[in-house]
Structure 1
Amino acid sequence: MKAISLAKPSDVNAIEQLYLACKDDLLHRQIFQWDDTYPNRAYFEDCIKEGSIYIMKDGEQLLGVVVIDELQSPEWREIDWRHDNPLVIHSLMVHPEGQGKGLGRNVLEFSERLAVERGYASIRLDSFTGNEAACNFYKRHGYVERGNVHFDSKPKGHERYVCFEKELV
């Protein structure tokens, strides 16, 4: 049975391994959205301490990860957001072998339920424009494009991200 729960310090190795598998899969597809600076092990450790990282497991097998908090990138300031009081999704990952099986949808729906339970009116996130599968995934689940941002820290030609928003109430 698949269960989603807050990550514990003992989960950091499995989270890092899942991230590396996802990163390798993206690189194989020529998608350079993640590098050694973000996300990384220190980021995941910080998220565990802050209580903002959730994991999906089937027994002992880690299938997915998502970071859920209120932190918005400074680059997002210029976006024409339509809803206030957002919760923000970061680093949503599903193991490449589990993609296309509804696991990402399960993690996304969990995130939305958590936001509603905590009184948030919307969810915001961004996705690399070159990751068409991820962008289409969010659109299929009711997320609306609100604009594009440019991250100077990303590799040349891979700096453009699309910002998405979904109203929850």
Structure 2
Amino acid sequence: MIARIRLGTLSDLGAIQEIVRAAYSGYISRIGREPGPMLDDYAALIDGSRVHVAETDGVVKGVLVLIPQDSAMLLDNVAVAPEAQGSGLGRLMLAFAEQAAAEAGYQAVTLYTNEAMTENVALYMQLGYRETHRAVEKGLRRVYMCKQLGL
């Protein structure tokens, strides 16, 4: 699988929304409501140059949302189309996020995920992210994580 990661455009909006819906809908029963990424305004995020897409053979298969913050790059969302899950695309996008953060001068990438998404917490820990704290925000129980870059 050869993937290309590029900034998302409004012409990608439908594919982005479909990938997010497919990637997160399975968590609704665990969480009791739609996960945060299903509620985001992707047109506004695209307009702000916050969305990257991963495509293979010209077809969008992954979504990555990066939001620069004061002290770190926030990895706000990473989602992979069901048919591309397990292909390494998610890890490729995470590596891209870390590279983009380093190139922007950040020393860390932060993220948060719902504590019910235990497999995501485990994957992030395996990739070098460490839990910093937990909190309830917007009615969602979140696990906050951070990865120091260049270590």
Whether the TM-score (by the shorter chain) exceeds 0.5 is yes
Q: In structure 1, what is the equivalent of residue 55 of structure 2?
A: 57
Structure 2: gaps of 5 or more residues: none
| Paired letter, 2:60 | L
Is 1:9 paired with 2:10? yes
2:46 maps to which of 45, 48, 56: 48
Distance 2:32 2:68 in 1: 21
Q: 1:93 to 1:38 in 2, by over 3 A?
A: closer
CA distance in 2, matches of 1:63, 1:110: 15
Say if 1:68 and 1:89, in contact at 8 Å, map to a contact too.
yes
* Residue 134 (1) aligns with residue 150 (2): no
The runs of at least 4 aligned residues of structure 1 exceeding 3 Å deviation read: 36-40
For 1:168, the aligned partner's letter is: L
Q: 1:160 aligns with which of 137, 141, 149?
A: 141
CA RMSD between the two structures:
2.0
The AA in structure 2 aligned to 1:32 is I
Contact 1:66 1:93 in 2 (8 A): yes
Q: TM-score, normalised by structure 2?
A: 0.89
**Structure with more contact order per residue of length (Cα contacts < 8 Å, sep ≥ 6):** 1
Counterpart residue number, 2:71: 85
Pick closer, same or farther for the CA change 1:37–1:92 going to 2, 3 Å: closer
Identity of aligned residues (%): 25
Paired residues of 2:24 and 2:35 also in contact (CA < 8 A): no
Contact 2:21 2:38 in 1 (8 A): no
TM-score, scaled to structure 1:
0.80
Cα distance in 1, alignment partners of residues 90 and 35 from structure 2: 23
Do the aligned residues in 2 keep the contact of 1:39 with 1:91 (CA within 8 Å)? no
Q: 1:102 to 1:38 in 2, by over 3 A?
A: closer
Q: Map Cα deviations across residues 29-82 of structure 1 (whole Å, 9 max, x no partner).
A: x33386287534x610011100010000002322110110125xxxxxxxxxxx
Pair 1:160–1:70, CA change in 2 (3 A): same
Instruction: Point out where structure 1 has 5 or more consecutive residues left out of the alignment.
Output: 72-83
SS at match of 2:105: coil
